[in-house]
Structure 1
Amino acid sequence: MKFIFTLPELLPPMTVKQLLEEQLLIPRKIRHFLRIKKNILINQEEVHWNQIVQSGDVCQLTFDEEDYPKKEIPWGNPALVQEIYQDQHLIVVNKPEGIKTHGNHPNEIALLNHVSAYVGQTCYVVHRLDMETSGLVLFAKNPFILPILNRLLEKKEISREYWALVDGNTNSKELVFKDNIGRDRHDRRKRVVNPKNGQYAETHVSRLKQFQNKTSLVRCRLKTGRTHQIRVHLSHHQFPIIGDPLYNSKSVCSRLMLHAYRLSFTHPLILEKLTFTAFSNTFEQELKKNG
């Protein structure tokens, strides 16, 4: 694999060592290979480790098979992929409801397999959505960019916004839920609020619209990323999501009314803020019927 990119304008001057280790998060072993094989060029010239690089410099990195062994997965159906954005390193797609982000075993076909077939190379999941949830998902197109995107996710620098249609009308326009979430001891599929043994979870909820049939359209922003977090928090506070088969058994709807509407982050290589929005036809159709 060979990658050529221009160091962005906002990048401060730093050594080659700092660039590879601190900015690009390249593992120590692979940095060693880049150095001894002279597989890093700056402005098409060989460099030493303490050389200063700065914005505008053109960086070329070449990785061998032993650096990042090729990973093979079954390819899916590229026609099922709705691309929102794509560049050399990453792709954002609009996931339909009813499909897993990735399989639970090597031969299971999921969105990851469809995206890999669409791109023409094995991709990697950066974050996932529940199978019943539709919306924006970010994938890495190579193992070089994956740890960099994972770092953004861990540092909460990837912002995700969801829309949900819920039972009930909220008295407040803005709500913040900070309930610890843990596993349900009686149903392994579910999560529950567990103040003592659960993990900290924080969800910010904004009311977008209230309807006469006592349902509400709300916007949810995640400050943490626990499994089923939005579904558990809303259900626990008496605003279960319509169509939720696990947390709103009384609701009848053709789909879970939860959609990942907005995704935003600063691209780690060009340092530009990227924001994407996408909607779902089935979500809109059900919103009209239920609203």
Structure 2
Amino acid sequence: MSRAMLAAPLLVLQGCSSGILDPAGPVAAGNKTVLVNALIIMLGIVVPTILATLAFAWWFRAGNARAKFRPDFTYSGKIELLVWSVPALVIIFLAGLTWTSSHALAPEKPLESRVRPVTVQVIALDWKWLFIYPEQGIATVNRLVVPVGTPINFRITSGTVMNSFFVPQLGSQIYAMSGMDSKLHLQADRPGRYRGLSAHYSGEHFADMTFFVDAVPPAAFQRWAASARGQGPVLDGPTFLRLAEADSLAQPVTFRAVMPRLYDRIVANGGAPVRETAKSGRESKH
């Protein structure tokens, strides 16, 4: 057996360990529960069907003289009841599970917590992610720092084509669309670095449109925010325009200040790059 064949199961397990099967927050944990419960419900019909197929093939084999051949058989009420009732029950259970989980894990539903949430504005650009912290007055590219145990209220839009914001270990994905202001509430329950990605095809380099989420203790988050305000460039109009128009992947960078209401302008203008959005922070006049 080749080394590649031996390593394949390990690669599969490694992928699961850093994805949706290794949740690091309450929303991701709820998503995992829904996935496992749905799998168990569907196995309730899949496994008996496989076993029945094997049993029928064995019983009606050519060498079994006790098996009765009935070429004129057309209908059995008992068989019809069995064939239709079991799938119907499975669909009912899945529908109930979907209904309750859709309301409990709705992206726009705030997380219950005594800790004050942190707001992060997310802007999908070509092959990069821009994160704005309006309360801290800073911004980052392709790196998201969040405090552990604190709800994160995301506002998500796109400055270009439609994209999808997804951090598998933290929870639900949601689409980032031009002119839309989508809501998503997530939380990290333990420190660590988690991979974020674009889960929707958006062009040539979308597979490399990844970012990292660093979940740190609250005190470390405050220190990081204070340090970020003391160094790095300013995300003003011209800088944003260059960032938005750059058709290339971007390395992580931190901005010590952000043009006022940049996120709202992008949403109002139906995306970016829009020169009126980036003209020194002034609104366009039409």
TM over 0.5: no
TM-score by length of 2: 0.26
More helix by share: 2
Higher relative contact order (CA 8 A, sep 6+): 2
Length-normalised TM-score, structure 1? 0.25
More strand by share: 1
Q: Which has the higher Rg, Structure 1 or Structure 2?
A: 2
